[in-house]
């Protein structure tokens, strides 16, 4: 006897299409659960590879938003301007703004393994600020006699935050092997400087017959001062693309006047200087220059308006 199989076929087809029905209101195809699981798993590799977007860092201290760059993009050669602002306490007079400006030639390399930039820098020139009608400074040639600072590190976050550490300046100081130039104590007085081991670490910076660095005083008082100094500079701010960075400069220093040629200059106990209480008064700006540049090029840039003449934030 032959059976009519069409009702059974229609029933099975109806059951199948119920599970595969298409919603006419949302236009969503309902797939079997196993197919949905497979589809979700298939998307995981693609989702895992998509990096989260990075918001540029806004530096609230200086009011500037970073323009982040890719890893390694800050390698190369740069001219760097740093401002060291101090507050000078002078008896009878109000506190005075002091300090100075340094210009440096920076050579930077990306260390992929450590994920930091390593760099060295040369001091090319600078000048000190006039205080109460007196200027104390030294020739540009003396800036270039300062040994290169070779253990500097720049850390750059993905959001464009810039941190520079390790800059060291040694003026008329030469430490023997085994003595750490960063932490070895300096003499506390001219008398202390004349004794070992300090006397062996101080040298005639310009070969002019005077101890230490010769600095020339002009203005209301004139003469020469002979001194030593150890200085550290750390930087913190933001990058503005691969060719420029700016922010705040933290300056720390130890200085000692060894002698002078004018008794009027031998009154250091009557005045003192400290870092300016407003951190924004000490700042830095860095701009990319050609890899063939030298200190002469850096100083030319310092005079042609490439650097901001006043604080750029």
Return the pLDDT at 266.
Answer: 78
Lowest mean pLDDT among 10-19, 75-84, 135-144, 273-282: 10-19
How many Cβ atoms are within 10 Å of 246's Cβ, its own excluded? Answer: 24
CB 82 within 8 A of CB 123: no
Alpha-carbon distance values, 196 to 177, 193, 200, 224, 227 (Å): 15, 8, 6, 25, 17
Return the pLDDT at 54.
Answer: 86
What phi, psi does 199 have (nearest 5°)? Answer: -60, -30
How large is the average pLDDT for residues 37-58?
Answer: 61
How many Cβ atoms are within 10 Å of 32's Cβ, its own excluded? Answer: 10
Nearest-angstrom CA–CA distance, 165 and 175: 21
Domain ranges of the chain: 58-303
Question: Over the stretch 69-127, which tens digit does the pLDDT of each residue have?
Answer: 999 999 999 999 999 999 999 888 899 999 999 999 999 999 999 999 999 999 999 99
pLDDT at 267 over 80: no
Return the pLDDT at 35.
Answer: 42
Question: Over the stretch 216-263, which tens digit does the pLDDT of each residue have?
Answer: 999 999 999 999 999 999 999 999 999 999 999 999 999 999 999 999
Q: 49 pLDDT band (50/70/90 cuts)?
A: low
Return the pLDDT at 268.
Answer: 52
Q: Six-digit token pair at 12? A: 């099975």
Question: Over the stretch 150-209, which tens digit does the pLDDT of each residue have?
Answer: 999 999 999 999 999 999 999 999 999 999 999 999 999 999 999 999 999 999 999 999
């Amino acid at each position: 006897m032959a059976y009519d199989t069409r009702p059974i076929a229609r029933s099975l087809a109806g059951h199948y299409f119920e599970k595969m029905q298409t919603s006419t209101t949302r236009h969503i195809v309902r797939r079997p659960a196993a197919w949905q699981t497979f589809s979700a798993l298939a998307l995981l590799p693609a989702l895992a590879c998509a990096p989260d977007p990075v918001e540029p860092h806004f530096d609230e201290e200086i009011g500037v938003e970073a323009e982040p760059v890719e890893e390694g993009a800050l390698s190369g050669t740069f001219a760097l301007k740093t401002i060291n602002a101090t507050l000078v306490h002078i008896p009878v007079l109000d506190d005075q703004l002091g300090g100075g400006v340094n210009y440096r030639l920076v050579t930077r390399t990306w260390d992929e393994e450590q994920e930091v930039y390593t760099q060295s820098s040369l001091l090319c020139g600078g000048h000190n600020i006039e205080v109460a009608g007196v200027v104390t400074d030294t020739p540009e040639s003396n800036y270039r006699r300062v040994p290169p600072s070779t253990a500097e590190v720049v850390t750059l976050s993905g959001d464009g935050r810039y941190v520079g550490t390790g800059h060291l300046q040694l003026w008329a100081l030469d430490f023997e092997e085994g003595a750490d130039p960063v932490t070895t104590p300096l003499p506390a007085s001219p008398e202390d400087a004349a004794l070992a081991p300090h006397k062996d670490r101080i040298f005639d910076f310009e070969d002019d017959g005077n101890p230490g660095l010769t600095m020339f005083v002009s203005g209301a008082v004139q003469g020469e001062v002979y001194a030593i100094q150890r200085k550290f500079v750390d930087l913190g701010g933001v990058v503005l693309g691969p060719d420029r960075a700016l922010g705040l400069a933290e300056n720390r220093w130890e200085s000692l006047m060894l002698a002078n040629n004018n008794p009027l200059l031998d009154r250091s106990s009557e005045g003192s200087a400290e870092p300016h209480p407003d951190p924004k008064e000490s700042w830095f700006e860095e701009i990319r220059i050609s890899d063939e540049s030298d200190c002469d090029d850096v100083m030319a840039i310092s005079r042609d308006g490439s650097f901001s003449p006043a604080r750029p934030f």
